[in-house]
Copies of this chain bind each other. A is one copy, B any other.
Amino acid sequence: MLTGRLLELSALRYTPAGVPVLGFRIAHSSQQSEADVERAVGCEISAVALGPNAQLMAGAKPGEAVRLTGFLAAKSLKSRSLILHVNEIEFLEGNQNGI
């Protein structure tokens, strides 16, 4: 699970099988404790949503705060960079009307 602010959202696309897909990036920042030391951490993460989640994200705007649940996977067989596959999206400010 990860909270963050939406940075960029690409356009809603469809896979050859007709499944909606939307890639985006989020900025995460939080206070964390590590070896008894409090520290501020931050990172940017590439994420992708498929199906109804992609359609939900199509209505989102950069800057919106979200809580994401999903799994990490390699971007592709050739690229080891990580991408968060999102299974659950919660908008944290105000209610976000559904799809």
Contacts and interface: CB of A to CB of B under 8 A. Distances in A.
Interface of A: 2, 19, 28, 30, 32-37, 41-45, 50-53, 71-74, 80-82, 85, 87
Nearest to A85: B34
A50 B34 contact: yes
Number of copies: 2
A80 B27 CA distance: 11
Nearest to A53: B35
A73 B35 contact: no
A71 B51 CA distance: 27
A55 B33 CA distance: 18
A51 B30 CA distance: 21
